[in-house]
Amino acid sequence: MWFDIALAILPGIILFLYGIEQFSSEILKVSGEKFRKLIKNLTKTPTRGLFSGALSTAVIQSSTATTIIALGLVNAGVLSFSNSLGVIFGANIGTAITAHLIAFKITFFAPFLIIIGFIISLIGGKYKFLGKPIFYFGLVFFSLNLISTSVVFLQDAPEILMLFDSLSNIFIGIGVGILLTILFQSSSVTTGLAVVFTLNGIISFEQALPIVLGSNVGTTATSLIASRAMDLFSRRAAMAHFLFNLLGLLLILPFLPSFIDLPVNTRSNPSLSLCRLQVHLC
């Protein structure tokens, strides 16, 4: 039973992780030093840094990459500590874009993006550099489509349903969200899985909430580890990232009952409400 589940879901998760990593890598490769200069020029004030951090993360689909770049610029003396905070906080907003795209079911277009990206890579001429980013962007959502198809049979598996029942305890769910995000090194993966499972009726909106909450804290682990080899201000920026996300979690906890009732009252899509929660945490 468990082997079949792992065989069905793990390949999709691996493709998702690989797709996000390669997409981020290709975007950074295409933009190169221009991307770093763009962040530097758009962070003259913390407010401008907030918007540039959100935009950068929405483009490269990785808040971790944006945060690490910001810490590196602080360490190099290019970016001030105060201005780096805007970039880091903005990255938390930008990372919600992936979940919104999943909730809007853009996964339908994933195969077309893969095909288009592949063709451009082969015969793109001067636009050939766009081929791989488009291909890997499609792969990210194609893998989620694969996971979504694979988890349908879990709706009737009593062992799995009993396991997910434990997520009704908000603190267990938060812990699971933190651990999964540290394991996958991506809050987008954790939130994406929560959205996919909710869309397929495997877990309820109430059970998915704590996972999303935990993912926002778990995503700070990478920057905390990376900053250990950097200067004092870089370490402070990484700690501010952690405290900001932790404070967001603590502030929203008292209002969760009202937020849980919101999808029912407005008859909105629960998966979209998960995305809204991720933005509210910022």
Query: pLDDT above 70 covers what percent of the chain?
Result: 71
- Residue 171 pLDDT: 87
**Residue 281: helix, strand or coil by DSSP?**
coil
Reported confidence tier of residue 266, pLDDT bands at 50, 70, 90: very low
Cβ atoms of 94 and 53 closer than 8 Å? yes
Residue with tokens 């926002």: 216
**Which region holds residue 61: left if phi is over 0, alpha if psi is between -120 and 50, else beta?**
left
**H helices then E strands: how many in the chain?**
16, 0
**Which region holds residue 80: left if phi is over 0, alpha if psi is between -120 and 50, else beta?**
beta
Cα–Cα distance measured from residue 81 to residue 235, given in angstroms and rounded to the nearest whole number: 10
Count of residues making up the chain = 282
Joined together, the tokens standing for residue 227 give: 């900053």
- Residue 87 pLDDT: 84
Q: Does the pLDDT value for residue 88 go beyond 80? A: yes
Q: What is the pLDDT of residues 62-78, one digit of tens each?
A: 777 778 778 877 887 77
Cβ atoms of 137 and 113 closer than 8 Å? yes
According to the per-residue pLDDT averaged within each range, which of 109-113, 162-166, 276-280 is highest? 109-113
Gyration radius of the chain's alpha carbons: 19
- Residue 265 pLDDT: 46
Cβ atoms of 216 and 245 closer than 8 Å? yes
Q: What is the pLDDT of residues 124-176, one digit of tens each?
A: 777 787 888 888 888 877 887 777 676 666 656 666 666 667 677 888 888 98
Q: Does the pLDDT value for residue 204 go beyond 60? A: yes
Cα–Cα distance measured from residue 68 to residue 238, given in angstroms and rounded to the nearest whole number: 9
Cβ atoms of 125 and 85 closer than 8 Å? no
